[in-house]
Structure 1
Amino acid sequence: MTTLTPDQAAARARRVLAALGPVPAWTTAVLDQAVLHLGRGGKPFGSNDLRLIVPADDCRSAGLYLHQLIELEKPVVLVKVDEVVSINPKAHGKRVNVYRLTAAGRRHLEARITARTQQRKAAAA
């Protein structure tokens, strides 16, 4: 078994996530707002929390969205702090990660939300 360097592991993660396809723009917008809301006070949160407040259609992409934030986004947006059992009955007791939003991650998500708002305003003008 070969051990990957951090750069090789990051490249592999980018290839895998790219093969899974992009998270739709609308879903990214919804999840950006939910993650920003849940992570604002420094409290840990995870997919279980998202499942309670995000529409089901958008929640289906939450795992891929979270992995993209962890693997691809710079600065570091989320830090894994724990694991819990999924509340999704279809997960059959699978464990899901719990994250903490970093200060840099908060600023990054706020900037993405602001950029989307400005794009919408420019398109409407």
Structure 2
Amino acid sequence: MNLTPAQAKARADRILAALKPTVSQWSTAVLDQAVLHLADSGQPFGMNDIRLLVPGDDCRKAGVYFATLTGHDALHPNEPPLLRKVGEETSINPKARGKKVNVYVLTRAGRQFIQDRQAERIQQRRAAA
């Protein structure tokens, strides 16, 4: 399927708009912390690492979370990417039956994006207090 850049952006907008509400602010905050922690190791990370680090329901939201971060790149093609895919590995989730999952590195822009989002949450809590 060959899409023009405008069509691709519109498609990405629709997909992300439909999926984003499924990830709560709490899950996003937990996953933001986990991604920053994993990125601090300097090693690539992915869903397997999240699965080992993040509890149950928040872990199940990680796929949409990663799609939102990588989808951000499609929505903002003139901005630097947030996550860069560097490979794949076999999922450790037994229900995945050997499915491949992506492995990423967090870019500087991605780190700044997450840190800005964390700062915004802190400001919102302070304003609400």
CA distance in 2, matches of 1:7, 1:82: 28
Structure 2 residue aligned with 1:112: 117
Tell me, yes or no, if the aligned pair for 1:10 and 1:71 is still in contact at 8 Å: no
How many residues are matched? 123
- Once the two structures are TM-superposed, the CA of residue 41 in structure 1 deviates from its matched residue by 4.0
Tell me, yes or no, if the aligned pair for 2:82 and 2:106 is still in contact at 8 Å: yes
- Structure richer in helix, relative to its length: 2
Q: 4+ residue stretches of structure 1 with deviation over 3 A?
A: none
- What does the per-residue CA deviation read over 1:54-78, in whole Å, with 9 as the maximum and x for residues that have no partner? 0111011100110000012554210
Structure 2 residue aligned with 1:69: 69
Structure 1 residue aligned with 2:59: 59
Letter in structure 2 aligned against 1:44: P
Identity of aligned residues (%): 60
Structure 2 residue aligned with 1:101: 106
Matches within 5 A, 1:11-50: 11-22=10-21, 23-50=23-50
Q: Which moved more, 1:77-86 or 1:15-24?
A: 15-24
CA distance in 1, matches of 2:24, 2:70: 17
Gaps of 5+ in 1: none
CA distance in 1, matches of 2:47, 2:10: 25
Gaps of 5+ in 2: none
- Once the two structures are TM-superposed, the CA of residue 114 in structure 1 deviates from its matched residue by 1.2
- Once the two structures are TM-superposed, the CA of residue 95 in structure 1 deviates from its matched residue by 0.4
Is 1:83 the counterpart of 2:83? The answer is no
- Once the two structures are TM-superposed, the CA of residue 21 in structure 1 deviates from its matched residue by 4.5
Tell me, yes or no, if the aligned pair for 1:44 and 1:98 is still in contact at 8 Å: yes
| TM-score, L = length of structure 1 | 0.89
